[in-house]
Structure 1
């Protein structure tokens, strides 16, 4: 074989390879499947071009996965986080979630090949994950606010942002209206409680029950809204940890004893176990049998999600001041919320499991079992 023929064969092979990469790469094919594009602006103020309409969505933020269901665009999901796939409530609401790729495991850990092969028109992500996608792919990325200091106004802004991205503004406003009605209900019921009679609440996460959310986190506003006080208000916890435990920090047992909270909210183990623990027995919440498991639904409630923004303050207000909410069916409001906002009719057992935190246990157990 002559050198000229070898050269021609090598040239042809390279041409075929480049042709495939350019015209048949999943990212390129995704763009070619659309005749139109539009310009969107993300929550960081970045303007960029996306397909119009958006048909395939990669949601790469754990707490944000529920937004697809709130806006009714779950059928457009092509990739999600592993945590959302492991959510037992999501599996019950939307069994198809089990078959979707889960390229994002934890913050900063993304299987890029799996993400590209899912062929998304857009990826929704926080700072760390979004930058990885931008650096390693040509997939358009909409950055969201993923800080632990997000308040209720931030939640509304985020939902409206998603409503614009997914062209579902009416669904976004429907959620905002529901959130505002619940906030108004709580405020009307708790506004006359004297400061000295407001319940002091400590959230004790992890097996030690000493990991908490401080006064600089989103939880401060939610506890205040419920008519209570955050025992850890003077503690700053944002920036103490990163990744899965961002926004959380550990305090000492001596500090909790000094705070002597009226109510203790836990997310690990059962209240009955803590009642028997001698190192906790002198705390008022233990003496008065006021230990509760934190609710959990589509996602865990120690993150600033749209779901927990509605349910957690209402739940806490009702357990702190049962007399003020005796003619209100919390279970009924939870059912209405999921029916009107998620288009899903909860059973009585599912409501029970949400308010007792059973779904958090099921979710985290599933993640651990997958390694």
Structure 2
């Protein structure tokens, strides 16, 4: 009887050992297949990843946009649902509606993600700081790289990181150089405009009362464009990790000369809602929707802030940009950096801010 107990105990321990080994092997399968390399991500983490990633899940919208710029869009196997609303992304990936959505409302669906057989995941910093979310990836053995930014400087770093990930460092540096050159051109053109002639602008980020915080990507765009961003001049602002909100009362206190909005519906709301009609910008019909291309040019997650700066500066200081044909500049930009031959109609839609991002 005692011998049988010992034998059964031995078999039980053996089964446990085998299960542990199998589990450990499964958790390391994706990370250990094929050659690897080490990259440094946007949180300065050194990460071992596949040397040539082939199946990539983008759990932050901007990472998919960056992959499209690097001509790596065919490797995308997972995206946030919002990417399916970006019309130019559907040009880059006609099958975008069928791509898996393993990340919604800040949470990773690990079963959905594993079903994509991804060999690399790109995430934003807020996801990386969520212990529960990254544990899902670590337990599954899926390598993850942080590609995120909140300023022009950080965007340049994010593009560089992505270039290293996809062995496209030369193209990444070329794009960064184009961004720097465009921003420098705009800054040079508006440099001599006296303060008394600068336009005071309120920027509505998607929602009418969502705006910019001094030092963030959007405020840097308006700084380069030479306008006075009223929300950075002081006043009632409530900020968290995701957004900065103000009040209509505060906007009336600022009473800007003009309003720019990231969303056409927001523009229509501001122009038609009776609560806004007392503002000078609304009275004078100085409310403009910013362009929408691969990204919304003036959005905090835009990879196209240089295009937003050029558009805003030309809008308010046209005499300084008489030689700039924005239609041709936009056409060339999307051809050179996204390999897209756009129709006149598409460019018109991009510059109007309408029709290039589908409704929910």
Same fold (TM over 0.5): yes
Whether contact under 8 Å (1:204, 1:265) holds in the other structure is yes
SS at match of 2:103: coil
Segment of structure 1 superposing worse, 279-288 or 230-239:
230-239
Whether contact under 8 Å (1:64, 1:305) holds in the other structure is no
Once residues 42 and 32 of structure 1 are traced to their aligned partners in structure 2, the CA distance between those partners, rounded to angstroms, is 19
1:169 aligns with 169
Q: 1:110 aligns with which of 92, 108, 111?
A: 108
Once residues 300 and 268 of structure 2 are traced to their aligned partners in structure 1, the CA distance between those partners, rounded to angstroms, is 28
Once residues 278 and 6 of structure 1 are traced to their aligned partners in structure 2, the CA distance between those partners, rounded to angstroms, is 80
Q: 2:257 aligns with which of 250, 258, 262?
A: 262
How far did 1:223 drift? 0.2
Tell me whether 1:119 sits opposite 2:122 in the alignment.
Answer: no
The two structures have a TM-score, normalised by structure 1, of 0.83
Whether contact under 8 Å (1:318, 1:324) holds in the other structure is yes
Once residues 178 and 255 of structure 2 are traced to their aligned partners in structure 1, the CA distance between those partners, rounded to angstroms, is 35
The two structures have a TM-score, normalised by structure 2, of 0.85
Tell me whether 1:352 sits opposite 2:355 in the alignment.
Answer: no
| RMSD (Å) for aligned C-alpha atoms | 2.9
Matches within 5 A, 1:49-64: 49-64=48-63
Once residues 236 and 356 of structure 2 are traced to their aligned partners in structure 1, the CA distance between those partners, rounded to angstroms, is 22
Provide closer, same or farther for how the CA distance between residues 8 and 215 of structure 1 changes in structure 2, counting only shifts above 3 A: closer
Tell me whether 1:185 sits opposite 2:181 in the alignment.
Answer: no
Matches within 5 A, 1:199-278: 199-205=199-205, 209-235=208-234, 240-242=239-241, 246-251=242-247, 253-266=248-261, 267-269=263-265, 271=267, 274-278=270-274
Q: How many residues align?
A: 350
Matches within 5 A, 1:63-142: 63-106=62-105, 108-130=106-128, 131-136=131-136, 137=139, 138-142=141-145
How far did 1:221 drift? 1.1
How far did 1:333 drift? 1.1
Once residues 308 and 335 of structure 1 are traced to their aligned partners in structure 2, the CA distance between those partners, rounded to angstroms, is 14
Please give the per-residue CA displacement for 1:30-82, whole angstroms capped at 9, x wherever unaligned: 34541x22222222121132222222222111223201011121122222222
Please give the per-residue CA displacement for 1:143-201, whole angstroms capped at 9, x wherever unaligned: 2334xxx3222211111111112111111011012112211221232111101111111
Whether contact under 8 Å (2:31, 2:143) holds in the other structure is no
Give unpaired runs (5+ residues) of structure 1: 367-371
Tell me whether 1:144 sits opposite 2:147 in the alignment.
Answer: yes
2:330 aligns with 334
Tell me whether 1:309 sits opposite 2:308 in the alignment.
Answer: no
Once residues 59 and 349 of structure 2 are traced to their aligned partners in structure 1, the CA distance between those partners, rounded to angstroms, is 26
Once residues 13 and 292 of structure 1 are traced to their aligned partners in structure 2, the CA distance between those partners, rounded to angstroms, is 68
Please give the per-residue CA displacement for 1:241-298, whole angstroms capped at 9, x wherever unaligned: 45xxx122122x2322221211111325264654444433332212322111122222
Provide closer, same or farther for how the CA distance between residues 135 and 217 of structure 1 changes in structure 2, counting only shifts above 3 A: same
